[in-house]
Amino acid sequence: MASASSPAGPPRLTWNALGRSTEEMAIQADWPAGITRDWTWGGSTGRGVRVCVLDSGIEGGHPGVGPVQGSYAVTSGPAGELSVTPVADEDTCGHGTACAGVIRSLAPECELYSLRVFGERYSTTGDTFITALRWAVEESFDVVNLSLSTTRRRFAEALHEIADQAYFASTVLVAAAHNTPVESFPWRFASVLSVGSHAVRDPSLVLYNATPPVEFFAYGTEVDVAWPGGQRTRITGNSFAAPHVAGYCALTLAKHPGLTPFQVKSLLYLTSDNVKGFA
Amino acid sequence: MNENDNLVATAAAFLGEAEHEHKELLASVVTVARALFTAAAASVFLLDEQSGELVFEAVSGAGEEHLIGQRFPASRGIAGWVLGALEPLVVSDLSTSPVFARDLAESTGYVPRSMMAAPLVYREDPVGVMEVLDPTPNFLTTLGAADLLALFAGQAAIALGVLRRNRAAHRMLATGQDNTELSQMARLLDQLGDDRRAASADLLSSLTRLLSAR
């Protein structure tokens, strides 16, 4: 098994699977046989699993997204206090609709909820992000898709605390790695499922990364996504790899209710295309 | 001209020289990026936060003769999306892109078929956008191209960030406006009597040790 550190220095920060084939990334696992994709999510539609997309909003009525069970946003009160309030099913830039469409394409019967953290100009603040994530964990969503991160280290401690709370409260946080080799949060934390892109145009291909911090790679290159105005477009980025993993988590939880994030992550590892060693 | 005026004039000259050098650096970044991606053009935009506009700061290729200084709304088009989402965007077919602002492209005199764009972030703050127009098609479908663009964007962001800071300093010198906390502190120190100035110097010395401690 590959080591995460080397005598040459600290571990290399990975953020995508560029230049590495599935064969090169093969991992020999000495686990008992029986854990297959079919066992894990075969036949599942994600029915009943509550998935929150913490992003720019989700456009309501988009044919590629289907029903949105609830839309919320972080809003600022008169004294600047932040709270989460219900809003219309709208998207400020298309990012959230794209992510929601990917999840829907894999888990057609999951319940989708939108939690908007981007403002009119898309950008968000660390405080807004923290308020939103804390609310999502308190609301006990089964899966939260986080195709965003902050590079501001002063928010890392609070995000880390919430990520750990989610981990023990059975909310699976799926976090996209930054698209460039920089440190950002919360994808760097072990209590989330962190996702980068691989370069293969195959939504079913999921790879485990033996040299984290990014733990999984999924389809994030030239992804055909839903876009506001009932449109579609092709887009590349780790942001669109993460909802693939969120979709598989929803399928798994629908078939095996009550699994913890640790168990879901373990199943995702055992069913990754590059993890070998089963009957 | 008194000693202070001399200092101001010298500082302004240095800042002017630095402006020239950083513009050269930006021009070099876009020239190399354009060559490496064998693209029709590469450009860097500076974000003008006050006006909410993006300003062409460096261009190589199509439009390089007339685009410098031209302004666009910072909330529109691919550049606006990239700046807002703080995420790179690679679009292989702009004719089907809902984000692309064709009217803005037409106003530059060149309408690309494909585009790569990356946000420029300096010390955690967005300062602009870098775009590469019509790169060789095989760059448009690889993760490696986005990584490569990010490297150029990193260089451009440093140059742009420093350029922006220098311009702010230059403006302050030119207008005599000098309201940063540090300069206010320096002025107050200068006005103190000997005893209090010595005590303040001790305090500043302690603060310097504290801030430089590792």
The reply to whether residue A221 touches residue B91, judged by beta carbons under 8 angstroms, is no
Residues B69 and B170 grouped into a single domain: yes
> Range of A180's domain?
46-276
**Within this chain, do residues B198 and B137 fall inside the same structural domain, yes or no?**
no
- pLDDT at residue A3, rounded to an integer: 34
H or E element that contains A105? helix A95-106
For A217, the 3-state DSSP assignment is strand
- Domain check: are B19 and B111 in the same one? yes
Q: Is B22 helix (H, G, I), strand (E, B) or coil?
A: helix
Q: Assess whether B63 and B140 both reside in one domain.
A: yes
Query: Looking at the DSSP assignment, which residues form a beta bridge with residue A83?
Result: A75
What is the CATH number for B71?
A: 3.30.450.40
Which DSSP category does B140 fall into?
Answer: G
> Is the pLDDT score of A4 beyond 50?
no
Q: Which of A221, A194, A188, A220 is nearest to A208 (CA)?
A: A194
Total domain count for chain A? 1
- Per-residue pLDDT averaged across B50-56, rounded? 92
Cα A277 to chain centroid, rounded: 27
Q: Which residue has tokens 């996209």?
A: A176
- pLDDT tens, B123-143? 878 899 999 999 988 776 666
Number of domains in chain B: 2
Give the A:B interface size as CB pairs under 8 Å: 82
**A26-65: per-residue pLDDT in tens?**
877 666 667 899 999 999 999 999 999 999 999 999 999 9
Q: Where are the beta strands (DSSP E) in A18-176?
A: 27-28, 50-55, 70-76, 82-86, 111-116, 143-146, 172-176
Angle of helix B194-212 relative to helix B181-191, nearest 10 degrees, comes to 150
Rounded Cα distance between A164 and A159, Å, is 9
Question: Could you tell me if B115 and B163 lie in one domain?
Answer: yes
Find which of A3-7, A177-181, A208-212, A216-220 is predicted with most confidence, using mean pLDDT.
A216-220
Query: Which parts of chain B fold into alpha helices (H)?
Result: 3-36, 77-85, 102-108, 143-175, 181-191, 194-212
For chain B, the C-alpha Rg in angstroms (whole number) is 22
Map tokens 């055992």 to a residue. A270
Q: How far is residue A44 CA from its own chain's centroid?
A: 19
Neighbours of B194 (CB within 10 A): 7
State the nearest Cα–Cα gap between B172 and chain A, in angstroms.
29
Global ipTM: 0.72
> Between these two residues, B23 and B30, which has the higher pLDDT value?
B30
Partners of residue A57 in chain B, C-beta under 8 Å: none
A149-172 per-position pLDDT tens digit: 988 888 999 999 999 999 999 999
User: Is the distance from CB of B84 to CB of A80 less than 8 angstroms?
Assistant: no
The answer to whether B85 contacts A16, with C-beta atoms less than 8 Å apart, is no
Structural domain containing residue B169: 3-174
**pLDDT tens, A209-222?**
998 889 999 999 88
For A227, the closest of B90, B98, B153 (CB atoms) is B98
Confidence (pLDDT) at A279: 45
DSSP string, A216-241: EEEE-SSEEEEETTTEEEEE-SHHHH
Q: Is residue A256 part of a domain?
A: yes
